[in-house]
Structure 1
């Protein structure tokens, strides 16, 4: 594979860093190697780290014959470090992964399927987006304890002043309505910039946040059957038209560059594309004027992003039952809520959603959960080719922002993606799957 595998120098650095980081987690030495379960997780925000460490402590206390040993690895280098450890055969028993990369690790033979390790009632309680993102080649490889929410935040007062209809999940804005809303809002705005697309985020945000707009127009990043080609899809008429709309919003000065990350909180713009992580800050700034809205229907229905960090058992682990026991513990309603309360994300189970003040019916973020429950979430392509797909889409957005010709940009991206897939013979399934 030409993309996603570390070069020798990077591999050596990764292995050295893993050795160093192995001593950075909060670990105890109360048991023998036979009882010890090694876990790696990304070192996200402090509140997430604290909750996970507390969960490990609670589990260890209630399971005296097991000893969970947690190692936290910096998020920015996490995927590279895991790939390096995989090449060296040094993966832990239980591994946290970013959802879109599950297919690549499963195809490479680094994961063990989970579908026969969990109680059927537990799997049935999971949001469909959780099982969808964690599945590949007909098997379930990973499960998360939370999912992500994506939508439009709106400033109620400014929308009402401009005479703009407040959309709902049942009646989202159409393409024409959205274009009209931008025009009406810009008339009352000093600089005409009325939309924050979080272009200051860049990176994976482009694929997560903007590809649902592409899919809502009938386009996509790659064909979704066998994931063998982007030709005719990423460079198809629907994708070209939608990306031209995106470029027009930018060139016509409708989009605030959000350099200070305060376009919405300072009320410079009345509309902001954003996720569940924005809610607390936005609510503190706008109070009762804060609205959570679905993305517009650009022709093929309103869509939303999905997928977040999830857990997988590695293929080389000899402690499958212990790892599954710990995952089942993390998926209890109390533990799901403890993490969701810390990071504001959508609880992974329907039971936890019903108990969440934010996400249960009538809660301020109910829209996020309802979108996923109704199948509006579109997983980022579940293929080992995903790393190059997202890298190419990020380049597409950057080039569109700079005014490049859209059709030429898309042709180059399709060529790169299809060449990668061809170089890997379409990623045929290889090897036996451990039960």
Structure 2
């Protein structure tokens, strides 16, 4: 059972350092007089289709396990802040956690270390695990034990305006072996940067998007953001390789090849010739810009290593230490990530499936352009750092990237990340 003292100290440290913790309340229901075990589930609200999907799958779980389990789900607004995470933190300190939580991939280590999540390793067979893409298992593993499983994966591709590149005589690669390096992208951007059109859009939101979308620039160089145990930043995120890689990235901003104050839909409306963006861009282009002629190619590689490394990670399901029936909660997690759930969810949100069998059965991922997305999910995906101080790392990396784009000394900007991260690690320890 959860030790309140451990939860309070670790969660308060992690939350306060990232400015996350605020007061909030939660409820948890159950019927001790019934033979049916009640299970409670929390997940962030999505759009209406997603909310309907979650409610539907919970109803189907209840039907399949009628007389044994009965689950209810609470969909919690997340807005643009950390309302959902705040509620988890408050429930952890008050002992009101639900049985099952939906959590973002990078937070798994924090929640596992602090005792909010418990291992589900004993409930998931090796055969079951083998059907998930490696990055999903990696993001859900802490201290060699599995804590979470997810339904979908994600990645980032280089989208391009097909007409503009054809007119410039530029032909992007269509195989992983021939993937562009950042030098190739730079040369292409210089040719395309004219007539009021920027060569490329490399902007991401000023929160989690920075580390999600841009950390592969560091990884492809051969560097890491942190040590393997997730506790040391010095010599990793500020290593010579990392500094060199991000100094090259800085050129796109300082030479005016990207707009530092991009307009909404800059790429889609023809104001940027290329666009480094997540796989969800497919849906936006196909639904909102059906006449737009675009192509995609792989996430750019380091010119030195020529190794493509792509982002990965998505929301996943785990069992909490507050659950009085962890076996039943694990059964619900497995139901929410079984093949039917994965297929239905990923078809709806237009993301690559977490299960290899489902991904292989989707013919659209065997043909261009989604075969490039499949290659990245199965061959080049890199998990964001597994560390208890991830909220601070993400926040400080975002600040550093903002400074780098405006011409700051790259080494100094990364040294600040090291200092803030290691201060937080000491507090957590």
Tell me which residue corresponds to 2:428: 424
Post-superposition offset of 1:405: 2.4
Structure-2 change in CA distance of 1:93 and 1:312 (3 Å):
same
* Distance in 2, Cα, partners of 1:287 & 1:219: 40
Corresponding residue to 2:321 among 315, 319, 323: 315
Tell me which residue corresponds to 2:3: none
Preserved contact between residue 44 and residue 84 of structure 2 (Cα < 8 Å): yes
* Distance in 1, Cα, partners of 2:401 & 2:316: 27
Corresponding residue to 2:274 among 271, 276, 279: 271
Tell me which residue corresponds to 1:215: 219
Post-superposition offset of 1:401: 2.8
Per the normalisation by structure 2, the TM-score is 0.89
3-state DSSP of counterpart to 1:256? coil
* Distance in 1, Cα, partners of 2:301 & 2:21: 44
Preserved contact between residue 106 and residue 139 of structure 2 (Cα < 8 Å): yes
Per the normalisation by structure 1, the TM-score is 0.88
* Distance in 2, Cα, partners of 1:393 & 1:173: 25
Post-superposition offset of 1:226: 2.2
* Distance in 2, Cα, partners of 1:329 & 1:422: 39
Matches within 5 A, 1:326-405: 326-359=332-365, 361-362=366-367, 364-374=369-379, 376-405=380-409
- Structure 2: 5+ residue stretches without partners: 1-9
3-state DSSP of counterpart to 1:5? helix
* Distance in 1, Cα, partners of 2:229 & 2:64: 44
**1:71-126 Cα distance to aligned partner (Å, 9 max, x none):** 11112311121111111111111111100000011111122211220233221111
Tell me which residue corresponds to 1:432: none
**1:274-297 Cα distance to aligned partner (Å, 9 max, x none):** 112111222342658321211111
* Distance in 2, Cα, partners of 1:6 & 1:383: 16
Residues 1:74 and 2:77 aligned together: yes
Post-superposition offset of 1:306: 0.5
Structure-2 change in CA distance of 1:328 and 1:226 (3 Å):
closer
Post-superposition offset of 1:260: 3.4
Post-superposition offset of 1:403: 2.7
Post-superposition offset of 1:328: 2.2
Matches within 5 A, 1:278-293: 278-284=281-287, 285=289, 289-293=293-297
Preserved contact between residue 143 and residue 310 of structure 1 (Cα < 8 Å): yes
Post-superposition offset of 1:357: 4.3
Q: Which piece of structure 1 moves more, 282-291 or 228-237?
A: 282-291
**1:155-203 Cα distance to aligned partner (Å, 9 max, x none):** 22222221223123221112322221111222xx31351211233x221
Q: Which piece of structure 1 moves more, 299-308 or 324-333?
A: 324-333
Preserved contact between residue 265 and residue 281 of structure 1 (Cα < 8 Å): no
